[in-house]
Amino acid sequence: MAALIKNLKDRGLLDSTLVICMGEFGRSPNREGADGCGHYAEAWSTVLAGAGLKTGRIVGATDREGGTAVERPTSTVDFLATVCKAISIDYTKTLTTPDNRPIRIVDKNQKIVTELF
């Protein structure tokens, strides 16, 4: 990932590109037999770079085991709204489907991760 970010920066594209590296869950720090590590669905790490974000910082924290967000938890809705803001999409906008059904880009009650802007 570092090489990708360096390449984008060297080409002057990093400020207009959002790079996201994430998984769908965290892992237990303890081995659990032959099956490896368990899944922590309530806490995981995400790395964001570019798009003019204030980077090089940690936002939030987990408990000692790394299984639960205990500081600055970020919901899926919050994350999606933050991504939209970073790439200049109006996440509060409502679109209309071909059958005239209104659909929001991001659900209501989102809280942007303001620490990144």
Token pair 């080409």 is found at 11
Which pLDDT tens digit goes with each residue over 36-48? 677 778 888 899 9
Backbone angles phi, psi at 10, to 5 degrees: -60, -35
Strands 26-31 and 37-40: antiparallel
Distance CA 49, CA 38 (A): 28
Contacts of 36-44 with C-beta under 8 Å, sequence gap 24+, read 40/66, 40/67, 40/68, 42/67, 42/68, 42/69, 43/67, 43/68, 43/69
- What ranges do the domains of the chain cover? 74-117
Per-residue pLDDT band at 111 (split at 50, 70, 90): very high
